[in-house]
Amino acid sequence: MPRRPSGLDRRLAHVERPTGLIRTLGVPTLVGIGLASVVGSGIFVLSGQAAARFAGPAIIISFLIAALIATLPALCFSELSTTMPVSGGAFAYTFTVFGPLIGWIVAWALLVEYLVGAAVMAIGWASYAENIAQEFGAEIPGAIAQGPFADDPGVMNLPAAILVGLAALLLLQGASESARANAILVAIKLGALLLFVVMGATALTVDNWDPFFPPSEGFGEFGVTGVLRAVGVVFLTYISFDVIATAAQEAKNPGRSLPTAMGATLALAALVYVAVALVMTGLVSYTALDVPDPLSIALGAHPNLDWLRNLANAAAVAGLAAGVVSLLYGQSRILMRMAREGLMPRAIGRVDTRTESPRTAILACAGAGVLIAAFGSYNVLAITISGGTIVAYGIVCASVLRLRKLRPDLERPFRVPFGPVVPIAGIVALACVFFLLPPRTLLIVASWIAIGLVVWFLYTRHEYRRAVEEQRAVAEGGQSG
């Protein structure tokens, strides 16, 4: 008697359904998408704040530890993305392996990573853009340069909102077109950061690294515990590598290109972060870096490098803009996949036949992103991103273990090495990072997940069941026909 298909079997069958997306993205393009989102607000904004508040010059150790930890879920993403090369990233994998409730929780957590992450980059971008405007004698009125919850409150952050809108317009042109523009922005960003490192190294002062580990002022405030707490904060700088996985259904030869692109992205990002942080803390005391534009502050302490400030600002403007494009790209693919699985209105899952992009999903992301960027506070938004993403990454690691147990027969072009050791180590390491986050972050993440569960039980669960019944009716009608 044949085995009755399980829920997992049915969901795996859905993986092969056509979406209308075209496989046009190679490894260089995927690495560009990854670097656009990974090398963003973390290096241009958060690196200085984490050094000033938690770790001092030892922030470079925090960056290295965070990179090693990020490698563990990256390997798990590589296995799942090559086993199920579909759009949607972490949501698609956890939905398929664990079912709709866990998939919804992960998708809800990823809203923070992608939409809030894009807004954080846009707000950081606005700060650097204001610096450039001032250099040319222009002044952006405070009422439209800051949101109502900023340290120096205004009415709204209009430049940040405009950037999100422009990023959405670029994405509406199609994946190939937006990827080309993204590659140009990434090249500008990396070139300027390289120049910052090379020229900054000629002017740094070793005394600024003393003490390398500032004396502890309490748990999580400098000393060893400060370095560890900073790991939780700067982990944000690596987390968006999974945007590459959301592009799986548009990647050429996903069995090879996705693992290669994720590995290359993390390695290059770690190299950039350590080099820039080392030079930045050598140019100026770490105590002066608790600002939205730490690279400018570091260069401003050296008159002979003042010419480089405008270039650093330009790099930040290009890099953060690329990050906004990349994160909105990833979020739109997640929403598209959610709609196709019945967790979002069906219209969001449609792909425009002319541009071969999910037009409605992009517009939905743009609408929400514009509001968050216009009225959100950088300091509040930035601390929320890591927590939700760590939860999602932990569930992705668990998905590898469960799928290997339930379906060992599946073809896996890439397999995580050392059996279950790496996924289990990933879960443990991510849990440690999670509980090292500031208490306010943990409270915000717990509250956000609780809100997501309320939405699930009051609305989404019923919509999902209705969508499944409609799909079943269509399938039965086709069979009877």
* Residue at 422 is within a domain: yes
Q: Whose structure tokens read 């930045």?
A: 280
Mapping DSSP onto H, E and C, the string for 243-273 reads HHHHCHHHECCHHHHHHHHHHHHHHHHHHHH
Residue 456: predicted pLDDT: 92
Residue 406: predicted pLDDT: 87
H-assigned helices in 407-438? 421-436
CB 433 within 8 A of CB 231: yes
Residue 426: predicted pLDDT: 94
CATH of the domain at 475: 1.20.1740.10
* Residue at 444 is within a domain: yes
* Residue at 419 is within a domain: yes
Using CA atoms, how far apart are residues 228 and 394, in angstroms rounded to an integer?
A: 19
CB atoms within 10 A of CB 308: 22
φ/ψ of residue 25, rounded to 5: -100, 120
Largest CA distance in the chain: 81
CB 343 within 8 A of CB 462: no
**SS3 label, residue 202:** coil
CB atoms within 10 A of CB 196: 25
* Residue at 134 is within a domain: yes
* Residue at 11 is within a domain: no
* Residue at 213 is within a domain: yes
CB 41 within 8 A of CB 124: yes
pLDDT < 50 regions, the chain: 1-5, 481
Tally of structural domains, the chain: 1
Residue 23: predicted pLDDT: 67
CA distances 276 to 195, 229, 272, 313, 316, Å, are 10, 20, 6, 14, 13
- 474 membership: H or E segment, kind and range: helix 461-480
User: What's the half-sphere exposure (Cβ side, CA atoms, 13 Å) at 175?
Assistant: 30
* Residue at 418 is within a domain: yes
Could you tell me the residue range of the domain that residue 223 belongs to? 24-480
Residue 379: predicted pLDDT: 67
* Residue at 407 is within a domain: yes
**Reported pTM:** 0.82
Residue 7: predicted pLDDT: 64
H-assigned helices in 16-55? 27-38, 41, 47-50
Q: What are residue 145's DSSP bridge partners? A: 157
